[in-house]
Amino acid sequence: MSFMPATKLIGFTLATLAALALLIGLGVWQLQRLEWKRGLIAEIETRAKAPPISLAEALALAKDGGDPSYLHVRVAGRFENDKERHLYALADGAPGWHLITPLVADDGATVMVDRGFVPDALKEQATRPQSQVEGETSVTGLVRVPESKGAFTPDSDPDRDRWYYRDLDGMAQSMFGDKPQNLAPFFLEAEEGGPPGSWPRGGQTRLDLPNNHLQYAITWFLLAFCLLVIYAVYVRQALQAPKL
């Protein structure tokens, strides 16, 4: 009886070790992501439950290089309803639009307010005249930073007022021609309010972020264990098999 050539066994062992290192590395990376996601969720919950701050405080934080994301902000001012824009979204599986309307605060600053979701049939203002807020008003909402276009995100169509991601600069240009000097560098997503069944429907931000990194880590570690078992079985059978 002769055995598996040493060179073949060494090559197979090296390939197995490389794959094992990759699988274990992916598992460890997912554990690191797990800790990061837990910290992010805790921070979002803390910010979202904290008392609202003023727009001036949020602007100061952003100016100093801080991240005001998910902070509650309260601002008083007037909506410029004629500059309303529409951001495509799904709510409960139904297509529709978020109403993005600039609000000029009492101190002169301007902030883009995501007033909430309306179904596709109510995109045009003429179909929902009761949704227009005139005169002095107060808005409380969560700070949401602008987005960049993703690899699979459609191109926005400003001419048809169809936006597919939170493009602050693009929306500002379509509204004002030139970006206002006093424009806040973020959006303010209005919290849910108004009578049931009214439009737009605010409070669309999901605060219950999915956290599946532990399951992913376990999967990678199980694959590493299975690889070891396969390696042990293969080598045992190869060493015991006669050379033909």
Predicted confidence (pLDDT) per residue in 123-152, tens digit: 999 999 888 889 999 999 999 999 999 889
In a domain, residue 59? The reply is no
Which residues is 96 bridged to in the sheet?
89, 119
According to DSSP, the β-strands at 53-54 and 72-79 are parallel
Which residues is 105 bridged to in the sheet?
77
Where helices occur in 64-208 by DSSP H, the ranges are 168-176
Kindly state whether residues 153 and 76 are assigned to the same domain.
yes
Which has more confidence, 49 or 102? 102
Kindly state the average pLDDT of the residues 4-30.
88
What's the DSSP call for residue 65?
Answer: T
Kindly state whether residues 24 and 84 are assigned to the same domain.
no
In a domain, residue 215? The reply is yes
Kindly state whether residues 76 and 127 are assigned to the same domain.
yes
In a domain, residue 163? The reply is yes
**How many structural domains comprise the chain?**
2
Detail the DSSP E strand segments found in the chain.
Answer: 53-54, 72-79, 85-91, 94-105, 110-119, 136-144, 183-190
**Residue 217 to residue 155: CA distance in whole angstroms:** 35
1 band by pLDDT with thresholds 50, 70 and 90: very low
Kindly state whether residues 178 and 221 are assigned to the same domain.
no
What are the residues whose beta carbons fall under 8 Å from the beta carbon of 96, sequence distance 6 or more?
A: 88, 89, 90, 117, 118, 119, 120, 122, 123
Measured in degrees and rounded to the nearest 5, phi and psi for residue 141 equal: -160, 180
Measured in degrees and rounded to the nearest 5, phi and psi for residue 125 equal: -60, -35
Cα distances (angstroms) measured from residue 16 to each of 142, 221, 237, 238:
49, 14, 16, 15
In a domain, residue 106? The reply is yes
Kindly state whether residues 94 and 166 are assigned to the same domain.
yes
**Residue 193 to residue 134: CA distance in whole angstroms:** 16
Least confident of 4-18, 186-200, 230-244: 230-244
Q: Read off the pLDDT of residues 207-225 as tens digits, 9 standing for 90 and up.
A: 777 889 999 999 999 999 9
The domain in which residue 75 lies consists of 71-190
* Torsion sign across C-alpha atoms 227, 230, 232, 235: negative
In a domain, residue 197? The reply is no
Burial 16-32 (b: 16+ CB within 10 A, else e): beeebeebbebbeebbe
Q: What is the pTM of this model?
A: 0.76
CB 100 within 8 A of CB 123: no
Kindly state the average pLDDT of the residues 177-205.
84
Kindly state whether residues 21 and 132 are assigned to the same domain.
no
In a domain, residue 35? The reply is yes
CB 116 within 8 A of CB 190: yes
Which has more confidence, 4 or 168? 168
Q: Read off the pLDDT of residues 112-125 as tens digits, 9 standing for 90 and up.
A: 999 999 999 999 99
109, containing H or E segment: none
Kindly state whether residues 232 and 174 are assigned to the same domain.
no
50 band by pLDDT with thresholds 50, 70 and 90: confident
Kindly state whether residues 100 and 159 are assigned to the same domain.
yes
